[in-house]
Amino acid sequence: MAAQDVAIKASSDTLFSGSSRASRRNMGQFIRWALLFSGGVLMVMPIVFMLSTSLKFPFEVYNLNLIPEEPTIENYTYVLEDGRFYHWFWNSLIVATLTTISAVFFDALVGYALCKFRFPGRYLIFIAILSTLMIPTEMLVIPWYLMSKSFGWLDTYWGIMFPGIMTAFGTFLMKQFFETVPDDFLEAARIDGLNEFQIWWQVAMPLVRPALAALAIFVFLGNWTAFIWPLIVTNSADMYTLPVGLSSFGDEVDVAWELIMTGAAISTLPTLVVFLVFQRFIIRGVVMAGLKG
Amino acid sequence: MATLSLRNLVKTYGKVEVLHGISLDVADGEFVVFVGPSGCGKSTTLRMIAGLEEVSGGEIRIGERLVNDLEPKDRDIAMVFQNYAIYPHMSVRKNIGFGLRTAKMPKADKEKRIEEVAAILGMGDLLERRPNQLSGGQRQRVAIGRAMVRDPAVFLFDEPLSNLDAQLRTQMRLEIKKLHQRVGNTIIFVTHDQVEAMTMADRIVIMKDGYIQQVGTPLEVYHKPANTFVAQFIGAPSMNMLPGTWTGGGVRLADGLGIELPRRNATEGAEVVLGLRPDDLLVTDRKGLFSGTVNIVEPLGADTLVYVGVNGHEVIAKASGREPPQPGQTVELTADAGEMHLFDAASGEALP
């Protein structure tokens, strides 16, 4: 009888400790979800607020209600009928696209050279490139401006683009990724008769597609949303990029937030397209597929 | 097809010399295996032949051509890497055909050649697959196909079977050997596995610390090892080595036991090492050369390896697979004098 009591107690203890473990696990999961939800809300709120404001009349802009009392698409009609918007959109598209192509190309080229070639001063060059990451953009805009002025690049596409045609961060990122490409691939290509540029382009580059995609997204977004430098280097409204142009909505008395938010909402579309196009390359890791199984 | 000649080949990295002037002649169509422990210089030699490492000194000739300063693509060689190095972003067809992209031949001929090679390797129905859809053995076949398609003068294999499991390795070993018999190209094959070397090679080159220790057919290096390193490296388990003194008519082992041997090129009283392969040292019911106590028994099926303690030494001997001795048992060991090897204790060189 006593033995039976002990057995029952032990089994109830086990049951109790089991359910206590389960409830602790549920609590931990709840906290995790709550934190993630809060983070999600914090990130989504500005976008919701942007969309909400873009659907409001001017008199309602300073009310912080998320759902407009009198929703309107008049702001969209106004912005899309304003010829300047297309011009700025086009400028941003040209600048961001060309800079992305250039930065991805040169960052990958330099990153590859620094990673795969042995030459004197290689480490020093890498450190020099990395050290430029520590200089804030605000410090660079004055020399950039003076340079642009002396070369006649003010108020031109080239003037907006030249600081970004190659990036220290991209070079670092690509160098690190090329480290993961085994030399066997490159040596096999060398024996197969490719020259060094062909090896880089035809063999090494396809193996680091996820990194290229990530870099392309970063560079495109960075240039699409760039504000300070395009604002400084451009003078005429024709050369404004979208963020600079949008900031000019309004007059001396008031800022037209509803129009700015409308323009901002429309301008997020290309970034979404870029992300959707490139994200599949990020997900698909191909480097190891050709190596030992 | 072509001959390959290495003359006083030297490789240095900074001030460190890793290859100390090796020389070797490989005949047209010969299958030569470089074997040795890690760091012996076998892969470095192969990479120098391929043109992937600069030659610090000496000459490499493929056929009659001095290739020291030629680019890899101009040497008429093809290489199969340990990690296969097939391009993951290309199909099997493109991988195999990649080496032909610079070849000046009509596209139809290229396609025909790719399909011929794929058929030889039994991969005809896998041509449109990507490497990540292939097994390890199939990937290795693609790598071999990429080398074959160019019909090079010399094939170079850099430990191509190391990443395969034991069963697949045996199968691929056989396939490479069949392939060589079929195409007849000169092959230089690097491995650290002495079984691969013994089973595949026409001749084996055994290397250690940047020097060639011995060059010979598999049976030569097994039965007539040039030194103690070769004697212990070739053959599994390793040759038993028993130190002793040359008496003129035999060896007196360190424990005082005397073993008679045919006359050898050694001076009386010289310190020597007696080498006995486990395959030649047999457990017997009769009175043997010496006796000892069984420490460990390793059944292999047909035979049994027996680790026997003999006066402070442990030797490995062979016993029957059906009635093996038990640990702790005292056994008699015997060997034929003709199968005993004698080496100079100081230099390690064989005493013929």
The residue from B232, B261, B281 where one domain ends is B232
Nearest CA in chain B to A188: B85
* Range name among B154-168, B200-214, B215-229 with the lowest pLDDT average: B154-168
Please give the structure tokens belonging to residue A164.
């970004």
* Cross-strand pairs, B13: B16
Residue B198 shares a structural domain with residue B219: yes
Is A266 near chain B, with CB under 8 Å?
no
Q: Do A289 and B146 touch (CB under 8 A)?
A: no
CB A188 within 8 A of CB B83: no
**End-of-domain residue from the set B190, B214, B232:** B232
Does residue A206 sit at the B interface (CB-CB below 8 Å)? yes
State which residue of chain B sits closest to A195, comparing Cα positions.
Answer: B73
Q: Is residue B352 part of a domain?
A: no
Chain A contact for B79 (CB, 8 A cutoff): yes
Search chain B and give the residue with CA nearest A182. B85
The pLDDT assigned to B346 comes to 92
Contacts of A190 in chain B (CB under 8 A): 51-52, 71-73
ipTM of the complex: 0.82
Closest-CA residue of chain A to B77: A191
CATH of the domain at B143: 3.40.50.300
pLDDT at A1: 45
Q: Which amino acid is at A40?
A: G
- What is residue A14's predicted lDDT score, i.e. its pLDDT? 55
In a domain, B222, yes or no: yes
Measured at the CA of A80, the angle between CA A79 and CA A83, to 5 degrees, comes to 90
Report percent pLDDT > 70 for chain A: 88
How far, in Å, CA of B107 to CA of B100, rounded?
10
Most confident of A287-291, B227-231, B286-290: B227-231
Tell me how far apart the alpha carbons of residues B50 and B74 are, in angstroms, rounded to a whole number.
Answer: 10
Q: How many domains does chain B have?
A: 2
Hey, of A191, A198, A292, which one would you mutate to test binding to chain B, going by the most B CBs within 10 A of its CB?
A191
* Tokens 């003076």 found at: A146
Which one is the CATH code of A74-290: 2.40.50.100, 3.40.50.1220, 1.10.3720.10, 3.30.70.2190?
Answer: 1.10.3720.10
Residue B349 included in any domain: no
- What is the rounded CA–CA span in Å between residue A107 and residue A75? 40
Residue A290 predicted with pLDDT over 80 = no
Question: Among residues of chain A, what percentage have pLDDT more than 90?
Answer: 54
Burial (0-12, 13-18, 19+ Cβ within 10 Å), B32:
buried
Please check whether residue B190 is in contact with residue B39, taking contact to mean a CB–CB distance below 8 angstroms. Answer: no
List of residues 6+ apart from A181 with CB closer than 8 A: A204, A207, A208, A287
Residues 233-252 of A with CB under 8 A from B: none
Instruction: Tell me the CATH number at B272.
Output: 2.40.50.140
Indicate if B186 and B260 belong to the same structural domain.
Answer: no
pLDDT at residue A213 is higher than 60: yes
CB A173 within 8 A of CB A179: no
B347 Cβ neighbours under 8 A, 6+ residues apart: B227
Q: Is B104 on the interface with A (CB under 8 A)?
A: no
* β-pair type (B258-260, B250-253): antiparallel
Before B237, cis peptide (omega within 30)?
yes
**pLDDT given at position B50:** 95
B210 shares its domain with B312: no
Predicted pLDDT at A230: 94
Q: B89 lies in a domain?
A: yes
Burial of A15 (0-12, 13-18, 19+ CB in 10 A): exposed
- Domain residue extents for chain A: 2-54, 74-290
From chain A, the residues in CB contact with B114 under 8 A are: none
- Place A293 in a pLDDT band, splitting at 50, 70 and 90: very low
- Please tell me whether residues B69 and B104 are part of one structural domain: yes
Neighboring chain A residues of B101 at a CB cutoff of 8 Å: 192-193
Spatial separation of the C-alpha atoms in residues B197 and B219, rounded to whole Å: 11
Q: Are residues B285 and B188 in the same domain?
A: no
Q: Is residue A35 over pLDDT 80?
A: yes
Residue B61 domain-assigned? yes
Q: How many CB atoms sit inside 10 A of residue B324's CB?
A: 19
Q: Which of A118, A192, A287 to mutate to test the interface with B (most CBs of B within 10 A)?
A: A192
Nearest neighbour of B73 by CB, restricted to A190, A288, A293: A190
A182: chain B residues, CB-CB within 8 Å: 83, 85
Minimum distance, in Å, between the CA of residue B152 and any CA atom of chain A: 11
Q: Do A187 and B85 touch (CB under 8 A)?
A: yes
CB-based contact B273:B342 (threshold 8 Å) = yes
Do residue B307 and residue B206 come from a single domain?
A: no
Helix (H) or strand (E) holding A7: helix A2-54
Report how far residue B273's alpha carbon sits from residue B341's, in angstroms, rounded to the nearest whole number: 8
* Residue B183 shares a structural domain with residue B274: no
Task: Assign B38 to helix, strand or coil.
Answer: coil
Please tell me the predicted confidence (pLDDT) of residue B142. Answer: 92
Same domain, B266 and B223: no
Backbone angles phi, psi at A236, to 5 degrees: -95, 150
| pLDDT band at residue A12 using 50, 70 and 90 as cut-offs | low
Confidence of residue A41 (pLDDT cuts 50, 70, 90): very high
Residue A13 pLDDT: 56
Question: From CA B80, how far away is CA B41, in angstroms rounded?
Answer: 18
Mean pLDDT calculated for residue range B233-249? 91
Please count the other Cβ atoms lying within 10 Å of the Cβ belonging to residue B276.
23
Query: For chain A, first and last CA: distance in Å?
Result: 61
The parent domain of residue B31 ranges over 4-232
Contacts with B56 (C-beta within 8 Å, 6 or more apart), sequence order: B10, B11, B12, B17, B19
Same domain, B228 and B245: no
How many Cβ atoms sit within 10 Å of the Cβ of residue B348?
17
Domain boundary among B179, B199, B232: B232
Does the CA dihedral A259-A264-A269-A270 come out positive or negative?
A: positive
B203-208 sheet: strands from edge to edge: B77-80, B154-158, B186-191, B31-35, B203-208, B211-216
User: Could you tell me which of A287, A171, A169, A143 has the C-alpha nearest to residue A222?
Assistant: A169
Whether B197 and B252 share a structural domain: no
* Integer CA distances (angstroms), B196 to B172, B176, B333, in order: 10, 11, 30
Instruction: Chain B: give the shortest CA distance to residue A182, in Å.
Output: 8
Residues of A with CB below 8 A from B98's CB?
189, 192
Q: Which residues contact A49 (CB under 8 A, 6 or more apart)?
A: A66
Helices (H) and strands (E) in chain A, counts: 14, 0
Q: What is d(CA B74, CA B67) in angstroms, rounded to the nearest whole number?
A: 8
DSSP B124-187: GGGTT--GGGS-HHHHHHHHHHHHHTT--SEEEEESTTTTS-HHHHHHHHHHHHHHHHHH--EE
Residue B341 has pLDDT above 90, yes or no: yes
Predicted local distance difference test score (pLDDT) of residue A284: 55
Question: What distance in Å separates the CA atoms of residue A261 and residue A267, rounded to the nearest whole number?
Answer: 10
- Whether B87 and B178 share a structural domain: yes
Q: Kindly give the interhelix angle for B136-148 and B107-120, rounded to the nearest 10 degrees.
A: 140
Which residues of chain A from 142 to 181 reach within 8 Å of chain B, CB to CB? none
Both B158 and B254 in one domain: the answer is no
Find the range with the poorest average confidence among A2-16, A68-82, A110-124, B18-32: A2-16
For residues A76-89, average pLDDT = 87
